[in-house]
Structure formats: C-alpha cells, structure tokens
Amino acid sequence: MSEAKVFDATAATELVKELRGTFASGRTRSYEWRVSQLESILKLSADHEEEISDAIHSDLSKPALESIIHEIGMVKNSCKLALKELRRWMTPEKVQTTITTFPSSAEIVPEPLGVVLNISPWNYPFFLSLDPVVGAIAAGNAVVLKPSEISPTTSSLIAKLLGKYLDTSAVKVVEGAVPETNALLEQKWDKIFYTGNGRVGRIVMAAAAKHLTPVVLELGGKSPVVVDSKINLQVACRRIIAGKWGGNNGQACVSPDYIITTKEVAPKLVESLKQELERFYGKNPLESKDLSRIVNANHFDRLTKLLDDDKVSGKIVLGGEKDKSKLQIAPTLLLDVPRDSLIMTEEIFGPLLPIITVDKLEDCFDIVNSGTKPLAAYLFTSNKKLKEQFVACISAGAVVINDTTLHLAVSTLPFGGVGESGMGAYHGKFSFDAFSHKKAVLYRSFAGDVAMRYPPYTPGKLRFLKALLGGGILGLIRAILGWS
C-alpha cells in the first residue's frame, strides 16, 4: 500500500502553476464554463443531500433540518441566483464621460481576478466551503478550496464530490491541517477568502501582504442583542433562541453573544427565555436531538473555562449542565455578569448567553461601542426613534431590528464585517464582485484631436484648458473669443 502524497510548499507551487495555466488558457472566463460549473454544484447538492447532511451530523451532531436549511439549501439558493443573474453580472456597465475626453465612450468591465484561495471553517462546513466557491466560479476564476480539518467527514466528502462533479483543471480541494494551510499561504494568490477567527485572520493577512494579495476576512466578534420594553417578548425570545442555539448551538459568527436590557425588563426576559428553551429542547436539553454538540474537546474546555471564572460564580440562572463524554453543554443563561469577566471579554462561540442589565436602555450605546465592532448587532424594540438611533450610532457588519441572523438569507444585502469583525463582503452579486476586478475602459476614435493638449503651452492654450476643465460652457466661450 503506497503512502499518501505529502502536500508541502513544492506541491502547492505545482498546484498553483497548474491552475494558472488553466486560467491563462481562458477556459474559466466563458459564460458557458461558469454556468456548467454552477449547475454541477447545484446537482451535487441535490444528488447527495442526505450524504452531506449525514457528514455534517457526524462532525457536529447538527440536526438534519438545520443542515438542509442553513447549509445545503443556502448553497442551492446561491447557485440558482448566480445562474439567473450571471449574464447581467458579466455585462459591462456603460458610464458617462466628460467634455475633456469628447468624443469618447466608457464602460466598467468585470474581469476575473485569476487564481483564488478559499479557507473555510468547521462550523458550517458545507455552506461556508461552497458558497465562496460559487462566487469565485461565477466571476470566472480558478479556485482552491481548503476545508477545515476540524470537520473531517464533511471535508472528505466535499473533496470527493467536487472531484467528481467539477472541472478539476480549474477547481481543486486541498485537505489537511496547519502544514497544508501554511504551504498554501506561501503561494501568490490573486485573492484569499478566509472565514474564521481573528487570530488566524491576522496570519492570513500577513501572508497575503508579502504578495500584496487582497483578502476577504470573515471573522466574528461579540454580537450584542439589545432588548427594549413594550415588545412581544415571546416572539423576541423565540427569535433570540433561534439565532443563538438554533444556529449551531451558538457556534456561529453571527450568533448573539450577549444581551443588554434594563433592570426592569430582565426578570421577565429571563422567565420568557426559560419557558421557550424548555419548549424547544425539553427539561433535559443534554438529551435533545435538536442541538448540535460542541465541536471538540478543546472548545468544550474553553467554554468550561468561561463558566468556571470566579467573576461569574453564582450568575447562572438557567443551564450550566455539561457532559464532556458527549461534548454537550446545555443552553445557559447568566444574569448580571461583570463586564470584565472572561465571558464578556472573549467571543463565546457556544451555548452560553450572558445578560447585562442597565438603568436605561440608551446605556447600550456606550457598552457596545466601547468594544470591537461586532459582525452583527440586534435590537428588539417598537420605538422608532431608538431604531433610528441604533442604526446611526452602532457600527457593525450588519444591524437587524426585531430578529437575529436572518440577514444572511437576504441575497441583496452584503454580508461582512467591519474593523476586527472582518473586511470585504459577499452573498449574491457581492460574491461575484468579491472575486472580480472592475476594469475601467475608455474608448476614443482618431477624431476630435485637440492641439490645446500638446506643447507648446501658450497663454491662450492655458486659458482654454482652464475654461474646459472648470469654467463651464460660458467660460469656454470666453476663452475661445479671447475675453478676459
């Protein structure tokens, strides 16, 4: 039995060289090639829905319904939208020219960047692997996908399916861990797309900087939920729960990270959350089949450390139960946790939800803005003025009013972070744009060649050019007639 081939810097160099040859041939630029590949992704998603769902369950114990809706369905929708709109996205955009270049015409031509790399995470191992690939292919690029080794079953399945369904001269999958990722990052790419945490994001950005490679970084952060009074509390709690625990058991970049509410509202909010959590996951949520498990022992220990912090001792008002043998932690609410505790200074990325109380809700602005800019910020209110103030004053990748995480499903909205929660955006046409260069093209004929632009630069030419550039029609007439 032969040994598996090692993927090192030499192998990575050869891989990129092969893809550059494919791209240089023009193969990936045609509309027909792009459509064929998008249709193939759509077909593999439909043909292997159960197999994909089983692989995700093997890695995360994610319920099948969540995998079908949040992962496979989202990839299908991305493909369908790209297939529907691709011709329009590829069409050059006509733009106006000025009198300076008369007679002329101009357009903006979207062109593929070349050979791109997508490094995907483990928490949505199918969707976040394939969705950027859809954008890269739609834009006409050759692409390498590096799926996460932390979700190995899904990674292996993706490698098998893409090798079977897609053009392997232009689309490659590289499996592995840190050594393989480092080997890829040593190469020169035309764009790197990374989804994950800020620590690795900095490593990716540093590697890209060596080659002046542009990056899209989809990171995370502490996404707040602000809860006002005089709202439908039951609906609000259901939507908070759906975004927190229904979203991969809190292991999602846009998952609600903490709640801010008033001291007056807090008791009612806690009670309503308790009722709805029991309704969704039963009296013993560790036995629920509708909650994903914690991905591995390292993350389990990290979350346990947040709960064991002396500063949050006695703050648990619901949950806290855990079973390391099953990598399960129950949905956990903590009330009035100190803002300098570990759970409030680190991104949680798990099923723990601290609640901070304030005297007046407007204090939320100082609390949110005192930290790094979140990937998403959520507000539940019926107050129009508060909505407007929240949108105006909170800098976040996205703001959602009276729901959580649902903006991901709106293809006409860009999805991305700001500051430490990331840079760049994708989804829908924004994915196409993320992997395209908007090339400016100006067309002129040999007519209309004006001597004024050439030496010798006489005072008369200077007056004419000043009038042309800034004096308007009247100034131009005055210059032609020699009026002062």
Pair 394, 457 in one domain: no
Residue 73 has pLDDT above 50, yes or no: yes
Q: Does any domain span residue 443?
A: no
Backbone angles phi, psi at 119, to 5 degrees: -105, 115
Pair 239, 369 in one domain: yes
Q: Which domain holds residue 24?
A: 9-219+427-438
In degrees, rounded to 5, the angle at the alpha carbon of residue 93 between the alpha carbons of residues 92 and 96 is 135
Per the CB < 8 A criterion, the answer to whether 138 and 88 are in contact is no
Which segments within 19-136 are labelled E, that is strand? 93-95, 104-112, 115-119
Pair 296, 359 in one domain: yes
pLDDT value at residue 128: 97
Pair 213, 321 in one domain: no
pLDDT value at residue 100: 80
Q: Does any domain span residue 131?
A: yes
Say how far apart CA 233 and CA 265 lie, in whole Å. Answer: 10
Q: Does any domain span residue 139?
A: yes
CATH number at residue 28: 3.40.605.10
Give the pLDDT confidence of 386-443 residue by residue, as tens digits. 999 999 999 999 999 999 999 999 999 999 999 999 999 999 999 999 999 999 999 9
Per the CB < 8 A criterion, the answer to whether 425 and 434 are in contact is yes
Q: Does any domain span residue 157?
A: yes
Pair 192, 314 in one domain: no
Give the pLDDT confidence of 254-266 residue by residue, as tens digits. 999 999 999 999 9
Pair 194, 113 in one domain: yes
Say how far apart CA 247 and CA 123 lie, in whole Å. Answer: 10
Question: Among the options 66, 71, 218, 347, which is catalytic?
Answer: 218
Pair 203, 236 in one domain: no
CATH number at residue 315: 3.40.309.10
Q: Does any domain span residue 421?
A: no
Pair 212, 330 in one domain: no
Which segments within 23-152 are labelled E, that is strand? 93-95, 104-112, 115-119, 142-146
Q: Does any domain span residue 444?
A: no
Mean pLDDT, residues 157-183? 98
Q: Which residue, chain included where needed, has tokens 């040999």?
A: 446
Pair 303, 267 in one domain: yes
Pair 432, 288 in one domain: no
User: Active site includes 253?
Assistant: yes
In degrees, rounded to 5, the angle at the alpha carbon of residue 409 between the alpha carbons of residues 403 and 415 is 90
Give the pLDDT confidence of 193-229 residue by residue, as tens digits. 999 999 999 999 999 999 999 999 999 999 999 999 9
Question: Among the options 79, 237, 253, 364, which is catalytic?
Answer: 253
Instruction: Enter the DSSP assignment of 452.
Output: G
Residue 130 has pLDDT above 60, yes or no: yes
Q: For residue 377, give Cα distances in angstroms to 36, 39, 369.
A: 38, 35, 11
Beta partners for residue 399, in sequence order: 377
Q: How many domains does the chain have?
A: 3
User: Active site includes 218?
Assistant: yes
In degrees, rounded to 5, the angle at the alpha carbon of residue 123 between the alpha carbons of residues 122 and 129 is 60
Q: Which residues of 158-185 are buried (b: 16+ CB within 10 A; e: fewer)?
A: bbebbeebbbeebbbbbbbeeebbebbb
